[in-house]
Amino acid sequence: MSTLIVTDHHVAPAPTKAKVVQPAWVRTMHWINAVAMILMIMSGWQIYNASPLFGFSFSRSITLGGWLGGALLWHFAAMWLLMINGLAYLITGFATGRFRRKLFPITPGGVLTDLKAALTFKLAHDDLTTYNYVQRLLYAGIIAVGVVIVLSGLSIWKPVQLQYLTALFGGYDVARYVHFVCMSLICLFLIVHVALALLVPKSLRAMIIGR
Ligand code: HEM
């Protein structure tokens, strides 16, 4: 008697795992950075109010710390978070080749083409694993601004101990303006960045759960 061996040729293929778009380290560091940046900006506005550079101050309702002393405590506490997390992100970004792979090259032609497409809502968002040229420019740019805001901050925090750094910025007073301009650029970036994340929710999802 022969035995019938039934084989099922119609087994559904194992579900392919959705591609990891944002690895865990990027997500963790991105969100720690977002919290640290917001704490730095809000406490920074309160510090600014104690000695404004321009003819305006920030409404107390959007500042952190209550008064100069409180704001400085917040600013220096969040500073460690921002610096350690930022340094770890920079080192990992370079060491893993992520920056080279995802943020470069950036060509003027590529930026112009993608910017035009973005403004006419013709930019494709199907492939989240590659950044378009506008994203590359904005991300590389804001990372550079992040480095400059930390360095200019250090030079107004310790202008005696770090006098060469302060001198590099053209002195204490100029470093304060540089610090303020960087803050403004980060706020502008944040408005555009958050708006785009909400417009393309699957990019936000990928930055939260990875896929
Ligand atoms: C709380 C508000 C924020 C939200 C909702 C947000 C959301 C996102 C999302 C969804 C992505 C992935 C988008 C994509 O696929 O292009 C992303 C990437 C990125 N964001 Fe944010 N973000 C926030 C705050 C910030 C802040 C404060 C900074 C820096 C100042 C920042 C810098 C970046 C950078 C550099 C990337 C690219 C990261 C990489 O690929 O290594 N974000 N963000």
Q: How far is the C-alpha of 176 from the C-alpha of 26, rounded, in Å?
A: 30
Q: What is the residue with the minimal CA distance to atom 15 of ligand 1? A: 203
CA of 127 to the centre of ligand 1 (A): 17
Query: Could you list the pLDDT tens digit for every one of the 211 residues in the chain?
Result: 455 555 545 555 555 567 899 999 999 999 999 999 999 999 999 999 999 999 999 999 999 999 999 999 999 999 999 999 999 999 999 999 999 999 999 999 999 999 999 999 999 999 999 999 999 999 999 999 999 999 999 999 999 999 999 999 999 999 999 999 999 999 999 999 999 999 999 999 999 999 9
Q: How far is the C-alpha of 166 from the C-alpha of 158, rounded, in Å?
A: 8
Ligand 1: atom nearest CA of 204 is: 10
| 18 pocket-lining for ligand 1 (C-beta < 6 Å) | no
Q: Where are the alpha helices (H) located in the chain, listed in sequence order?
A: 24-50, 68-95, 98, 108-119, 133-157, 163-168, 172-199, 201-209
Q: How far is the C-alpha of 5 from the C-alpha of 145, rounded, in Å?
A: 67
pTM, entire model: 0.91
Q: How far is the C-alpha of 47 from the C-alpha of 64, rounded, in Å?
A: 9
The two structure tokens encoding residue 209: 């759960």
